[in-house]
Structure 1
């Protein structure tokens, strides 16, 4: 009103007819309205760009945790701590007198693991007589301290001697046969094969680095030999992977996710994008914990359909369109579960970008949902369902009403609108978990399992072929499942490679990298 009145006063000074004044006034008002609309569009675009920039900066430089109140730690914090310790050590070595300073309070040292072997070193005094008066010393106690030591990769040789005996009467020679091995005629023992496999697929060391480690100990292992061993180990372990897939698909709830990997394109000198698909069991269900990796040359949703085949149940995924066909009425009857971690991430990025009060409010409400999950983590399925009905469902209903009201007052195109639209669009799949006691709230279990492989890509950069990718996925399936079940992957693999050559196929479940109680349950089901 003030702007319009000011325009009228200014137009009164002009020698215009009333009709001209009206026309000019309308033109000015039209231009002003257009400018205001353009300004709103620019503000929305600016907000979106700030959101994207903050997200990229967090991925590139920041900590990956999305805790709202957690301080950001420097990437070089460990270097600063190392430098500080080195400077203190150098100061202690200076011949100059150094003023005494109070020692920093340090956390108590963690006790060394009991399962480690102990090598005792007794430090007795040179004499059992007192240096002051010559009297005999009497033992009154002991001061015991422990230090942790390590040996680098220690190579040793197993020499197998099989005496040969002859029967002069029968003219025959008797000798014990060569023990069967995973690789017949190879000089590699199961322990060496396990060490190489763990280095490559768990520690993400390329084969040439493994060869360098061996060379430092005076052992020559050619790259062609290492590659051959890895290839044969992968073939030998494949039946175990097939059994894990079978047991995984017996579950009624699965997590699914995928991560890109580079695959070398022979002849072009370039790489093409492939994908490592991951499927994980549900921790709220009875049964073994299993992670299965499936290597494919694209991100097409047909790969998920082919893997799951006729499987029926609840599938927890993100909003990637490749999964949508699984939830259509014409496809296999899979029920979609939404991931609250993905929904929360939209608002977290928005809050990081411009301290949005809307995003902060949503984060607080979603935090209430996770507080309920923490409270019910160790409850039974029935008790957890009751807890969710009492606490989670009211939070969800209140959040839904608040989002609808806020969205009606939010302009289109901005980061706030996009974050709210993402959540409302997937609302039915997001709230489905709260009506049960066995459905998970998010996809973090599979993301946590796939993350070490994603980080390992910085070491090996790309796979050499599709076959190599599938072999890596198979071995990662076994090692990842072993870790999920609290097993030492190296010990399990060495033991399995030793047993595998003579192990009957009818008892193959006993070799799976599962907890002992889960193996017993599987064996009872097969009886």
Structure 2
């Protein structure tokens, strides 16, 4: 599992001036540290991608005959977070150069130094549109869920934002950003109602929305122009029929009224994808990028030390160095 690398640095001396010359020390992520970049990468991947907290890694290393305290591992993680800052900045710059972005946020628990109680903070995920050439995601840690945090991250960006209906994004739309709604959220309202009450109206809505998704599956590998043509020919008539049908319904309960109201109030944003072949039908792309954070909660309670939280955000996950 582990090996020791021996670096031999040659020394030379000038016979005339007696000047001593020695090969430089190989560059290390941690100055004067013994951990190689490969070992550091292993610790990070196992922690953030495989959801294995540092105390478990400590035990694994111990079984292999290597004594590595979790405090040491935590320091490594923190330093790596700082070292990754230029990469984060470059990714953010590249993402904000895209015309279409997805955004979503998820809660994490924060433990401030000296405090015995946690409070809720958030990780926001931003990624280019699913049909864009750039594949990247940046996670931004914030102490709250205010829409001001999204505005701060996006700064002067003025493109099309795919997101759910969280009110925090509304201020962005007032500043010129175009809202692209999430059909998956609209569908979920009817799905949950159908599961609980077997509503006929919900079933009809699900069938029509299902037709829209079936067409998107056909369009997934098409060019934006071809995708736009398919939507104009097939998706738009279905959406128009669905809209008229929703408007004509007489709700038979508060649940179906809320489901219909959700879609009707947001119909413009929900169907804006029909106008541009580069746009997706929903926000599932970024939700899939943020789902591993929730998955990790099944294995370890995520606690983020306030003084180290930004480092953890750089490393993509919420169970940070404060959760060892």
Per the normalisation by structure 1, the TM-score is 0.58
- List per-residue Cα deviations over 1:269-314 (Å, max 9, x = no partner): 11000000011111223x3111111000100000001001110111
Question: 1:179 aligned to 2:3?
Answer: no
Shift of 1:246: 0.3
**1:410 matched residue in structure 2:** 251
Do the aligned partners of 2:219 and 2:230 also contact (CA within 8 Å) in 1? yes
Aligned equivalent of 1:423, options 240, 255, 263: 263
Distance 1:268 1:476, change over 3 A: closer
Shift of 1:166: 4.3
**1:525 matched residue in structure 2:** none
Structure 1 gap segments, 5+ residues each: 1-153, 478-527
Shift of 1:159: 1.0
Shift of 1:345: 0.2
Question: 1:302 aligned to 2:121?
Answer: no
**2:321 matched residue in structure 1:** none
Do the aligned partners of 2:122 and 2:142 also contact (CA within 8 Å) in 1? yes
Question: 1:450 aligned to 2:293?
Answer: no
Shift of 1:225: 1.7
Aligned equivalent of 1:317, options 163, 177, 187: 163
Matches within 5 A, 1:46-445: 154-167=1-14, 169-285=16-132, 287-328=133-174, 331=175, 333-406=176-249, 409-410=250-251, 414-445=254-285
Q: Secondary structure at the match of 2:107?
A: strand
Aligned equivalent of 1:470, options 300, 305, 310: 310
Distance 1:279 1:357, change over 3 A: same
In the aligned structure 1, how far is the partner of 2:7 from the partner of 2:211?
A: 64
In the aligned structure 2, how far is the partner of 1:462 from the partner of 1:391?
A: 45
Do the aligned partners of 2:113 and 2:306 also contact (CA within 8 Å) in 1? no
Do the aligned partners of 2:112 and 2:307 also contact (CA within 8 Å) in 1? no
Do the aligned partners of 1:255 and 1:281 also contact (CA within 8 Å) in 2? yes
Q: Number of aligned residue pairs: give it.
A: 317
Shift of 1:324: 0.8
In the aligned structure 2, how far is the partner of 1:347 from the partner of 1:456?
A: 29
Q: Secondary structure at the match of 1:459?
A: coil
Distance 1:385 1:216, change over 3 A: same
In the aligned structure 1, how far is the partner of 2:29 from the partner of 2:301?
A: 29
What RMSD in Å do the two structures reach over aligned CA positions?
A: 1.5
Higher Cα radius of gyration: 1
In the aligned structure 1, how far is the partner of 2:314 from the partner of 2:308?
A: 10
In the aligned structure 2, how far is the partner of 1:380 from the partner of 1:174?
A: 59
**Higher strand proportion:** 2
The runs of at least 4 consecutive aligned structure 1 residues that moved more than 4 Å come to: 165-169
Do the aligned partners of 1:295 and 1:469 also contact (CA within 8 Å) in 2? yes
Select the structure with the greater relative contact order (CA < 8 A; seq sep ≥ 6): 2
Shift of 1:340: 0.3
In the aligned structure 2, how far is the partner of 1:380 from the partner of 1:268?
A: 53
